[in-house]
Amino acid sequence: MIKSILIAAMFNTPNPQETDDLKRNMKALEIFLQDKSDYKEFCPKTKWTQPDIEVYKKELKSQLPTNCKK
C-alpha cells in the first residue's frame, strides 16, 4: 500500500519546468487583464488593439501605448 502511494506521488508531482511555465502564464494573464482594465479607464479614446495573450507570455510586460499609462 505505501509503495503504491509513493509511486503515485512521484508521478503526480509537477516538474519544475511545468511550475515555471504555470507561473509565467499566470503573470502574463495578470498583465493582460490589467492592460484591458487600464485601457478602459485611462485612454478609451486612443485606438489600440490588445495583442494576443501569447505576446504577453513571451514579453511579460504591458502592451499599452506609452501615452496610455497610468
* pLDDT tens digits, 36-56: 999 999 999 999 999 999 999
Tell me: pLDDT of 6 over 60.
Answer: no
Left (φ > 0), alpha (ψ -120 to 50) or beta: where does 49 sit? beta
| Percent of the chain at pLDDT exceeding 70 | 77
Q: Taking residues 25-36, report their average pLDDT.
A: 96
Rounded to whole angstroms, how far apart are CA atoms 30 and 41? 16
**Where are the chain's structural domains?**
16-68
Rounded to whole angstroms, how far apart are CA atoms 67 and 46? 9
For residue 40, which amino acid is it?
A: K
- Can you give the pLDDT at residue 70? 59
Task: Supply the pTM of this predicted model.
Answer: 0.74
SS3 content of the chain, % helix, strand, coil (to 5): 70, 0, 30
